[in-house]
């Protein structure tokens, strides 16, 4: 089959990859209909998180059609349209039972295309382990593109908002306005936030945030503007969506007493944690990857009712065969690149 593989930093290619090889009776094979590129795929693209071997497929956001099920699969059959949460769990341990795959006790959380085990989703076919748990039938009134956004980026944004304790009347900063940051604006409003400040270096991304009802801020003046607007009290909540030291520091600086900072940007390895500032403000600090399965029951109805329109962040629709071009565009943020969706 064809799919995208990493060759060298900045060099992703549309290659001949090995077909999925189901080994367990609970495995499911899905024919990909749509996949997308996530910000964390750029870590691979830049040479971090090197794949375990050549021609190992990358990508972890996809939806498609079930084409093969093992004997142990109960809930799915060939022909079912499914969405594939980017992170998978065993489905049976105490954490998976409540959807918290990021704490899975049997083998840990596994992400497609990252790590050594599961090959990526940016491919014509995908092997899904424990299919009954890790492939979810696309609900009624959810479009293919919405289903795709529900596999990773929207639940990640929502996780960030929940971890930031966003609720009615709260003031919020979102630091980083890629697709997840923009989703987070929508989620923050749905959770009742009153003021949502949106921060990014790129003016065009701030413009997109403004169109969603947020107050745009340039990083250079964000802190003083928030100081002034709140008479020095600062904000209740901040979400960091970049995964860098400067943006994490900024999120901590923007939050006031009894506030909460939530980091969902991946990639920061070490950080000079300003514990004195956190201590003084009696602040809560959380950092976590998303457990998609946990929040789908909440998010699906919000999308069905039109309260969340995650497909709004899709900027480009391309072919899988143009994957190299898609990665290049996304990496350089060329011509307004936000969320790039690929179809076979």
Examine residue 90 and tell whether it contacts Zn ion (CB under 5 A): yes
Examine residue 38 and tell whether it contacts Zn ion (CB under 5 A): yes
Examine residue 152 and tell whether it contacts Zn ion (CB under 5 A): yes
**Identity of the residue, 203 or 269, whose beta carbon is nearer to Zn ion in the bound complex:** 269
Instruction: Please report how close the Cβ of residue 39 comes to Zn ion at its closest, in angstroms.
Output: 7
Instruction: Please report how close the Cβ of residue 223 comes to Zn ion at its closest, in angstroms.
Output: 29
Examine residue 93 and tell whether it contacts Zn ion (CB under 5 A): yes
β-bridge pairing 62-69 and 81-84: antiparallel
Of 182, 148, 133, which Cα lies nearest the Cα of 61?
Answer: 148
Of 16, 6, 338, which Cα lies nearest the Cα of 180?
Answer: 338
Of 152, 122, 129, which Cα lies nearest the Cα of 5?
Answer: 122
Of 170, 200, 164, 165, which Cα lies nearest the Cα of 182?
Answer: 200
Query: For Zn ion, which stretch binds (CB under 5 A), given 33-41, 117-125, 137-145, 300-308?
Result: 33-41
Examine residue 89 and tell whether it contacts Zn ion (CB under 5 A): yes
For residue 284, the cross-strand partners are 260
Examine residue 104 and tell whether it contacts Zn ion (CB under 5 A): yes
**Identity of the residue, 145 or 152, whose beta carbon is nearer to Zn ion in the bound complex:** 152
Instruction: Please report how close the Cβ of residue 93 comes to Zn ion at its closest, in angstroms.
Output: 3
**Identity of the residue, 100 or 227, whose beta carbon is nearer to Zn ion in the bound complex:** 100
Examine residue 40 and tell whether it contacts Zn ion (CB under 5 A): yes
**Identity of the residue, 91 or 256, whose beta carbon is nearer to Zn ion in the bound complex:** 91
**Identity of the residue, 98 or 246, whose beta carbon is nearer to Zn ion in the bound complex:** 98
Of 324, 303, 16, which Cα lies nearest the Cα of 153?
Answer: 303
Query: Which residue of 96, 166, 193, 254 would you call a contact of Zn ion, by CB under 5 A?
Result: 96
**Identity of the residue, 235 or 326, whose beta carbon is nearer to Zn ion in the bound complex:** 326
Residue 222 is inside which H or E element, if any?
helix 222-229
Examine residue 184 and tell whether it contacts Zn ion (CB under 5 A): no
Instruction: Please report how close the Cβ of residue 127 comes to Zn ion at its closest, in angstroms.
Output: 18
Examine residue 102 and tell whether it contacts Zn ion (CB under 5 A): no
**Identity of the residue, 283 or 340, whose beta carbon is nearer to Zn ion in the bound complex:** 340
**R_g of the chain, CA atoms, integer Å:** 20
Size of the site for Zn ion (CB under 5 A): 9
Residues 6 or more apart whose Cβ sits within 8 Å of residue 185: 174, 196, 198, 209, 212, 213, 214
CA 334 to chain centre: 20
CA distance 84 to 35: 10
CA distance 57 to 44: 11
Instruction: Please check whether residue 199 is in contact with residue 330, taking contact to mean a CB–CB distance below 8 angstroms.
Output: no
Query: For Zn ion, which stretch binds (CB under 5 A), given 34-42, 123-131, 206-214, 317-325?
Result: 34-42
Give me the residues that bind Zn ion (CB under 5 A), please: 38, 40, 89-90, 93, 96, 104, 106, 152
């Amino acid at each position: 089959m064809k799919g995208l593989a990493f060759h060298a930093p900045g060099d992703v290619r549309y290659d001949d990859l090995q077909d999925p090889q189901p080994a367990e009776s609970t495995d499911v094979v899905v024919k990909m209909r749509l996949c997308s590129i996530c910000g964390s795929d750029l870590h691979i693209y830049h040479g971090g998180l090197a794949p375990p071997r050549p021609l190992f497929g990358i990508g972890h956001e996809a939806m498609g059609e079930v084409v093969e099920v093992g004997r142990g699969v109960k809930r799915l059959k060939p022909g079912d349209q499914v969405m594939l949460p980017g992170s998978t769990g065993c489905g049976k341990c105490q954490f998976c039972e409540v959807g918290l795959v990021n704490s899975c006790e049997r083998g840990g959380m596994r992400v497609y295309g990252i790590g050594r085990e599961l090959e990526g989703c940016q491919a014509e076919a995908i092997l899904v382990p424990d299919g009954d748990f890790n492939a979810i039938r696309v609900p009624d009134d959810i479009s293919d593109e919405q289903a795709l956004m529900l596999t990773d980026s929207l639940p990640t944004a929502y996780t960030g908002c929940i971890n930031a304790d966003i609720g009615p009347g709260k003031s919020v900063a979102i630091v980083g306005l890629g697709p997840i940051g923009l989703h987070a604006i929508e989620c923050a409003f749905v959770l009742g936030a009153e003021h949502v400040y949106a921060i990014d270096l790129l003016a065009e991304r701030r413009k997109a945030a403004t169109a969603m009802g947020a107050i745009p801020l340039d990083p250079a003046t964000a802190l003083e503007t928030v100081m002034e607007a709140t008479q020095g009290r600062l904000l209740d909540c901040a979400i960091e969506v970049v995964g860098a030291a400067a943006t994490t520091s900024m999120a901590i600086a923007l939050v006031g007493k009894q506030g909460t900072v939530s980091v969902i940007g991946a990639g920061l390895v070490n950080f000079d944690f300003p514990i004195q500032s956190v201590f003084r403000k009696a602040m809560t600090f959380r950092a976590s990857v998303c457990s998609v399965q946990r929040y789908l029951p909440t998010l699906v109805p919000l999308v069905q009712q039109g309260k969340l329109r995650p497909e709004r962040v899709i900027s480009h629709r391309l072919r899988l065969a143009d994957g190299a071009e898609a990665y290049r565009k996304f990496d350089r943020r060329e011509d307004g690149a936000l969320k790039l969706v690929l179809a076979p």
